[in-house]
Amino acid sequence: MSQQIRLNRQDAARLQALAEQILHHDGAESAAAERLLDVVSAALLTDEAPEHASLHSTVTFASAGTAQTITLVEPGDVDPGAARISVLAPVGLALLGRKPDDESEVALPSGRTGKIRIVAVTQPATDTCAVP
């Protein structure tokens, strides 16, 4: 069974711009930015993808029997103490565009890879109040 990566068009454009900005400035995160471009180009783009992990999604995943919950954010919004992890981090790239029950490989600091399984994806609440 194929595990199609899906992103909404708005997030895909934002992620592509982020990756291109990093590559243009030849930042330390260039390799991650290239991987992010690969994820975006491989993704099926939709108007909405509420069940798939994207920017600002809260994602619960399991690895080796241990569950962890994080929120995917842009690099400038990282806060490890609050479990706010960059989409450019290896786990962020592994989760991006995935839905519950998908499995993905994540690059480990040792250079090896590990498997993670997505347990749940929650999107941030949207403000539905009308602006006067």
106-127 tens-digit pLDDT? 987 788 899 999 999 999 876 5
Angle between helices 30-42 and 9-24 (to 10 degrees): 150
d(CA 60, CA 56): 13
d(CA 130, CA 27): 40
Domain ranges for the chain, please list them.
6-122
Q: Is 49 helix (H, G, I), strand (E, B) or coil?
A: coil
pTM of the model: 0.87
Q: Which CATH number fits the domain 6-122, given the four candidates 3.40.50.300, 3.40.50.2030, 3.30.300.170, 3.10.50.30? A: 3.10.50.30
- The fraction of the chain above a pLDDT of 90, given in percent, is 76
Q: Yes or no: say if 83 and 71 are a contact pair by the CB < 8 Å rule.
A: yes
